[in-house]
Structure 1
Amino acid sequence: MGTAYALPEQLRGLVDAWLGDERRPEPPAKGKAGEIATLPLPGGVPAVLLLAGSGDGAEADWRKTGAALVRAASGDPELTLALPSDVSPEGVRGLFEGALLASYRFTLASDPKPPTLTSLTVVTDDPSRFADAVARAEAVARGTALARDLVNTPSNIKSPEWFAAQAVEAATPLGIDAQVRDPEWLAANDFGGMLAVGGGSTRGPRLLELRWAPDGVDLHSLRHVVLVGKGITFDTGGISIKPAQGMQLMKKDMGGGAAVVGAVLAAAALRLPLRVTVLVPLAENMPSGSAYRPGDVVRHYGGRTSEIFSTDAEGRMVLGDALAYAVATLRPDVLIDLATLTGGQGVALGKRTAALFSENDDLAKALFEAAEQAGERVWQMPLPEDYLEQIDSDVADANNSGGRGAQSATAALFLRPFAGEARDRWVHVDMSSPAWSDGPSDELTKGGTGWGVRTLTRWLESL
């Protein structure tokens, strides 16, 4: 297959002979996606030739290849890639997404080592053909990188106020309107769930609202999507305190909030012709003399009440307020929430697949397809009506913890009433495990993954 840059005949012959040499220490190259064969050329230009497999040439294959290439070249300052002549714009988008996301680094070291690889040049016969694909990849990668930064930042820095300020700083240059509500506003407007969860911390809760719409367009003519993300900046479990091991990674408990912020940044960067409003209910769940207690009854925004069975089921408490507020004041055409909500999600679906709950099968299917295209995964889960008895309460509308059985499903059932009249166009995504990677894998790096930015952006693009 030809490439945009033709190898000199002598070098091409060397490559053919080397690939066919059975004495090579590497196994025979099969051209699988992400497979890299390395040919050193001492004293030559280039000094090292990387031969990259792209599988069937699908976008997912190119995403894997882009990640593998930047890792293979990480010890060199520059990488030049000659594209095959038949690569598609979708393939180029995958290539750039994989390369950019795998290049992500986060450190707070006093003397960090800068990355060696600083330049990636892609050679093609027709650059203009791929300009849009590259722009889309860059927008998604920037949104994902911010989401990863927010997740990876330690919670001694990451207060609700700090998170909101970082989001506003990133959003404003893109023409996104921003508003941050403080504890006094939350109290005046009866956000009981947020105030209860955040009441044990010296760093009070905040409600972050970001609004994107293109200039010069009648807002009523645009579809209005509201994205809600859980924003627990640290979760001790409160009075129902977690064991030390269970608390270790709880700086990631705002992964849903980080994802919806990253998605609206990408939507604005791409100037998508939509109204996108993001709500992030931010709170820190701490034990103290002012913390909420098991046995309390909390009144949410809109009046619904919850009996507290566990203060460690705090995510649904803040989401309930935000969902009810979204329905009452924003009138969404579609309402989607993302949350690192339950350990049961990971037990059921593992580290790379999020649980999706919705009564709208068409909407669920559209998000499933967007996730597949984006290189993330969701799976639609049931909402069994007979599980409602697990969240019954003698004194309130529901209890906030359905026990250890079917955790993700009972959490979704708890949230469903807060969707109110938007219930038929509401989706809840539990992405607790996919929000964190224990090590590098394809385009993922160790730490926060920014899961959800890519899926939401793909879905928004499809609208």
Structure 2
Amino acid sequence: MTSLTPVTFVETDIERFAEQRGRIAILVTPDGRLDIAGRRVNRLSKGAVKRALEAKTEAGIKEGEVFTLAYPAGMAVDAVDVVCLSRNAPAEKVRAAGAALGKNRGKASLLIAAGGARRVAQLVMGAVLRDYQFNAHKTSAEAREGTIEVMCSDPEAAREAAAPRLAVAEGCFMTRDLVNEPANVLTTTEFANRLAEMESLGLKVEVLEEDQLAKLGMRTLLAVGQGSASPSKVVVMQWKGGAKDAAPLALIGKGVVFDTGGISLKPAAGMEDMTMDMGGAGTVAGVMRAIALRKAKANVVGLVGLVENMPSGTAIRPGDVVKSMKGDTVEILNTDAEGRLVLCDVMWYAQDRFAPAGMIDLATLTGAIIIGLGHENAGVFSNDDALCNAFLKAAQAEDEGAWRMPLGKAYDDMLKSPIADMKNIGGRPAGSITAAQFLQRFVKDGTPWVHLDIAGVASLKTDTTLAPKGATGWGVRALDRLIADKFETE
């Protein structure tokens, strides 16, 4: 797994600045005031910091803005990054400023003169998240170099504040690595093996093989993978950090390691992107890693359905009828609407076995959600206002775009089949909504449920504030915060 840039915390020592190498970051307020570290750097650079601030303040310095003084006279550093943050800067601005530092770092070590511990956690998290690189398959890639050192008045308090945020960052890295991996590397077996390795963190991990899935009646999930040489699997990850008798939160992830569309074959153009069709399972894995690393005081179970959707002589066909674990029958009209067939069996199994306090599924489920919401927001569907609003609040706090979409009987009626209990598609109109309606049929009465369609946010062609282009790790931060806010015990 891609490792986080090493982060250390030390007491403020402004005398170090004279001989410091690499990069230094100092903090200033929006009105241009310097703290003790900033004043020392200004003196060493013969007033360069003040002159740059005076030029900037005429135009107005924005909260979270970072500007750079390259090779300042009188100092040994490559650059000084000046970070504009007020004492009460919003967390997303602090993270964004940290991300700018991480992006600027390159191969150089970075010393952040952060003052107090208050903002350190978010600042460091942003720097670490943006410093991510996926070089696993580059033969000429150079080894990652440099460290991040944080100079502050209370290193122990800063370290304690940053530890859970760094745990979440490591969860994000796991999700990004999984989503970025090519399908010939991340087979269903390799995926399961990587999840099993997390037992060393205190998770209980079970891998259910095809014979066990058949006995359980997971025929819709098995139908998706029956055209592939890769065996279908379900991986169950349990974290028991809460009260012994407390029902867990269940996280369900779609793990289609590659999606050709099956017999309903996708167009060739862009099919290479379907290595990310396991993004929901990747996010669940990242959340489970994060809560295990930070020892969350909550009971959470993560379940992922791992399959590969391939065309072959054994593949499922349009027109086939398959019975789900619940017992309902599904007429398959399009084999490229396969994610819901995986999720419905895993969701039913999760409710049967764990009777969860709430259930959240994640899937790169529909292209329709991208048409509706673009790449700015995941689609959020729910039968429970309290759980849905708690998630939306957590997503907003972590600056992860999420937008609630409707459900309703009219959309559900679009799934009626003349020969089975339902069809697996409802036609082109409202495609993401009918997919959610399909899943809702497998939610038991009384189970609070949220469905997250992350097709537009799991992997992007451009950089974002906190990630380079490619896998984003969307959802790990929001779900970790939801668990902390709503499901952890004191």
TM-score range, shorter chain: over 0.9
Deviation per CA, 1:258-310: give whole Å up to 9, x if none. 10111011111111121111110110000000000001111111211110010
Question: 1:227-306 to 2 correspondence within 5 Å?
Answer: 227-306=251-330
CA distance in 2, matches of 1:198, 1:354: 26
Which residue of the partner structure matches residue 101 of structure 1? 129
Secondary structure at the counterpart of residue 121 of structure 1: strand
Shift in Å, 1:133: 2.5
Secondary structure at the counterpart of residue 207 of structure 1: strand
Which residue of the partner structure matches residue 133 of structure 1? 161
Query: Are positions 1:30 and 2:30 aligned together?
Result: no
CA distance in 2, matches of 1:27, 1:449: 36
Query: Are positions 1:65 and 2:97 aligned together?
Result: yes
CA distance in 2, matches of 1:27, 1:262: 44
Q: Specify which of 191, 195, 219 is matched with residue 192 of structure 1.
A: 219
CA distance in 1, matches of 2:66, 2:134: 26
Do the aligned partners of 2:122 and 2:162 also contact (CA within 8 Å) in 1? Answer: no
How many residues end up aligned between the 2 structures?
450
CA distance in 1, matches of 2:69, 2:75: 14
CA distance in 1, matches of 2:199, 2:294: 15
Q: Specify which of 47, 53, 56 is matched with residue 19 of structure 1.
A: 53
Which residue of the partner structure matches residue 114 of structure 1? 143
CA distance in 1, matches of 2:129, 2:95: 9
Secondary structure at the counterpart of residue 112 of structure 2: strand
Secondary structure at the counterpart of residue 47 of structure 2: helix
Do the aligned partners of 2:247 and 2:355 also contact (CA within 8 Å) in 1? Answer: no
Shift in Å, 1:315: 0.1
Secondary structure at the counterpart of residue 445 of structure 2: helix
CA distance in 2, matches of 1:105, 1:52: 23
Q: Specify which of 127, 146, 149 is matched with residue 177 of structure 2.
A: 149
- What code does the residue aligned with 1:156 have? N
- What code does the residue aligned with 1:462 have? D
- What code does the residue aligned with 2:204 have? D
Which residue of the partner structure matches residue 402 of structure 1? 426
Deviation per CA, 1:373-408: give whole Å up to 9, x if none. 122121111102111221110111110011111111
- What code does the residue aligned with 2:71 have? P
Deviation per CA, 1:74-101: give whole Å up to 9, x if none. 15x211111155x73xx32221221111
Shift in Å, 1:456: 0.6
Secondary structure at the counterpart of residue 261 of structure 2: coil
Q: Are the structure 2 counterparts of residues 19 and 218 from structure 1 closer, same or farther at C-alpha, using a change threshold of 3 Å?
A: closer
CA distance in 2, matches of 1:3, 1:313: 57
Q: Specify which of 332, 339, 343 is matched with residue 308 of structure 1.
A: 332
- Identity score, percent: 36
CA distance in 1, matches of 2:418, 2:293: 49
Secondary structure at the counterpart of residue 301 of structure 1: coil
CA distance in 1, matches of 2:390, 2:442: 23
* 128-137 or 32-41, larger mean C-alpha shift: 32-41
Deviation per CA, 1:133-160: give whole Å up to 9, x if none. 2111111010110111101110011111
User: TM-score, normalising length from structure 1?
Assistant: 0.93
- What code does the residue aligned with 2:39 have? L
Shift in Å, 1:436: 0.6
Which residue of the partner structure matches residue 24 of structure 2? none
Which residue of the partner structure matches residue 244 of structure 2? 219
Secondary structure at the counterpart of residue 7 of structure 1: helix
Secondary structure at the counterpart of residue 349 of structure 2: helix
CA distance in 2, matches of 1:15, 1:235: 53
Do the aligned partners of 2:68 and 2:79 also contact (CA within 8 Å) in 1? Answer: no
Query: Are positions 1:457 and 2:488 aligned together?
Result: no
Shift in Å, 1:39: 4.2
Do the aligned partners of 1:315 and 1:341 also contact (CA within 8 Å) in 2? Answer: yes
RMSD, matched Cα: 2.0
Shift in Å, 1:312: 0.2
Secondary structure at the counterpart of residue 64 of structure 1: helix
Which residue of the partner structure matches residue 201 of structure 2? 174
Q: Are the structure 2 counterparts of residues 331 and 353 from structure 1 closer, same or farther at C-alpha, using a change threshold of 3 Å?
A: same
CA distance in 1, matches of 2:217, 2:281: 21
Deviation per CA, 1:106-150: give whole Å up to 9, x if none. 12111212234x111111112233333211111101011011110
Query: Are positions 1:419 and 2:443 aligned together?
Result: yes
Question: 1:31-50 to 2 correspondence within 5 Å?
Answer: 31-42=62-73, 44-50=75-81
Shift in Å, 1:2: 4.8
- What code does the residue aligned with 1:16 have? K
Could you list the runs of 5+ residues in structure 2 that have no partner in the other structure? 1-32
Do the aligned partners of 2:337 and 2:425 also contact (CA within 8 Å) in 1? Answer: yes
Shift in Å, 1:359: 1.9
User: TM-score, normalising length from structure 2?
Assistant: 0.88
Secondary structure at the counterpart of residue 50 of structure 2: helix
Which residue of the partner structure matches residue 353 of structure 1? 377
CA distance in 1, matches of 2:89, 2:460: 26
